[in-house]
A and B are shown apart, each in its own frame.
Chain A
């Protein structure tokens, strides 16, 4: 299953990539591949769901993405309140103390 094409905010900067492979390890949609065992490359950018796992785990700053939730209710809510979209699931609930 694929979502809309050409919309992801994912950016990859090949220059700073060391080919460590963390991005390949964390991506749930196989967006990255390692080419010739040297550097990462974008394999299928349109599969990116902007979860932000790759960017957060890249120790070399070679990946940037505007991570967030792909949830209509959260985005509409964010537009109304003017805040960053965040899903309401479980906020303030089951909190300790």
Chain B
């Protein structure tokens, strides 16, 4: 990223970029969905040429998250256009717009710095609609003279948008959240949850193996097994099943959705490995609440949950989670004491 620091004295340079993605880039996109690559997958801000654009070609604004940039340039295949990449710190258009880095000031700054009026003779720029939370179109026009036309949500609609005379239809403006859209987001829900699961499993192994005489490896494994399974199912219920079945699980609250799926997962787990009544009471309290909490985290990945709604869920949910965790702990202690014959 050192090249970002280079300051050009004369006319700002333009990079040419292909509208075809390489196999390596496709692999990188998958890595962005499952690993930390996404936080350092950036492209240098500036002006890029796709095809052979001239002074009448369209200017598309994008973020410097490379996946955002790649999706745009692929959508421009066969066209001659300019891409103006803002410095959004490697964050995608919508998230950066929410933060304000994909914003009015940054856009004005780039237009001025790159002397866009010398590259194109017209006064129109196309900003992705999901950039609108950060960009005040009327202020950009006041300050630079460029009039913003908001393009479609999905870059794949760009061709239809241009054919329609730079007008989006209602369908192009609506953000969709298909089962595929939800599926690609689940690895980043599951990976952090399973990291915590590993700690939980180790802790359960220790607690289940704990005897007044010491820690018994065999007991830890045998008595812990149902809890390993139930915990595993609880994570899947909250991080995978709830997101995938989102529209089909009853109620609008994510916490309630996750809890319901968690109940089903717990029932399923207990059917596979039956447990005694005290352990079952603990299980039906602890695991559905765990699924509920994990499902609530998915609000951060959806396209339709607002801050006020999530605040409301947390206001009601957090005391329940804390109480539930405390009671679960007490039950577990009681369960162990009972097992040792102390109670």
Interface residue? B145 (CB, 8 A)? no
Residues 47-85 of chain A, each 1 if its beta carbon lies under 8 Å from chain B, else 0? 111111100110100000011111111111001000001
Residues on A with beta carbons closer than 8 Å to the beta carbon of B24: none
Indicate if B177 sits at the interface (CB-CB under 8 A). yes
Q: A28-B173, A29-B175 are in contact. Are A72 and B307 (CB under 8 A)?
A: no
Cβ contacts A18-43/B at 8 Å (1 or 0 each):
00001011111110000000000000
Once the chains bind, are B170 and A1 in contact (CB under 8 Å)? no
Closest 6 CB pairs of A and B: A94-B90, A71-B300, A96-B4, A68-B307, A53-B132, A70-B305
Docked complex: B288-311 residues within 8 A CB-CB of A = 296-297, 299-311
B35-43, B199-207, B215-223, B224-232: which lies at the A interface?
A: B35-43
Least distance between B86 CB and chain A CB atoms (Å): 12
Nearest CB of chain B from residue A26's CB, rounded to whole Å = 4
Query: Quick one: closest B residue to A54, CB to CB?
Result: B132
Which residues of A are at the interface with B, using a C-beta cutoff of 8 A?
A: 1-5, 7-9, 22, 24-30, 47-53, 56-57, 59, 66-76, 79, 85-87, 89-97
Q: CA–CA, A1 to B138, complex, Å? A: 32
A22–B140 CA distance with the chains assembled, in angstroms: 14
User: Which of B's residues lie within 8 Å of A, judged by CB?
Assistant: 1, 4-5, 38-42, 45, 64-65, 87, 89-91, 94-95, 97-99, 129-130, 132-138, 150, 153, 168, 170, 173-175, 177, 246-247, 252-254, 296-297, 299-314, 318
Which of chain B's residues have a CB closer than 8 A to the CB of A56?
132-136
**What is the CB-to-nearest-CB distance from A8 to chain B, in angstroms, rounded to a whole number?**
6
Contact A4 B252 (CB under 8 A): yes
**Cβ contacts under 8 Å, A48 to chain B:** 306
Query: A93 touching B134 by the CB < 8 A rule?
Result: no
Write the nearest CB–CB distance from A56 to chain B, whole angstroms: 5
A70 and B89 within 8 A (CB): no
Partner of B138, one of A52, A57, A72: A57
8 contacts between A and B (CB under 8 A): A22-B137, A25-B168, A53-B129, A57-B135, A57-B138, A76-B314, A94-B64, A97-B1
Are B170 and A30 in contact (CB-based, < 8 A)?
yes
On whether the beta carbons of A90 and B306 are closer than 8 Å, the reply is no
Q: What is the CB-to-nearest-CB distance from A13 to chain B, in angstroms, rounded to a whole number?
A: 17
| Cβ contact within 8 Å between B309 and A7 | yes
Instruction: For residue B228, give the distance in angstroms from its CB to the closest CB of chain A.
Output: 26
User: Which of chain A's residues have a CB closer than 8 A to the CB of B296?
Assistant: 72
CA distance A94 to B32 in the complex (A): 13
B39/A93 in contact, CB under 8 A? yes
Q: Which residue of A lies closest to B305 (CB)?
A: A70
Judge whether B310 and A28 touch: CB under 8 Å. no
Contact of A29 among B94, B98, B301, B304 (CB under 8 A): B304
A45 to B: closest C-beta gap in Å: 11
Interface centre among A5, A79, A89 (most CB of B within 10 A): A89
Contact B297 A72 (CB under 8 A): yes
| CB of B85, distance to nearest CB on chain A (Å) | 12
Q: Are B87 and A96 in contact (CB under 8 A)?
A: yes
Bound-state Cα–Cα, A30 to B171, Å: 10
Whether B41 lies near A94 (C-beta < 8 A) is yes
Contact status A75-B311, CB under 8 Å: yes
In the complex, what distance in Å separates the CA atom of A72 from the CA atom of B75?
33
Whether A3 and B174, one on each chain, are in contact in the complex, defined by CB atoms closer than 8 angstroms, is: no
In the complex the two chains form, is A4's CB within 8 Å of B312's CB? Answer: yes
Known: A1-B247, A56-B134, A97-B4. A8 touches B252 (CB 8 A): no
Task: Apart from A72-B314, A87-B95, A94-B42, list 15 A-B contacts with CB within 8 A.
Answer: A3-B305, A7-B312, A26-B150, A47-B304, A49-B304, A51-B306, A52-B98, A69-B307, A71-B310, A73-B297, A75-B314, A76-B314, A79-B314, A86-B99, A95-B1
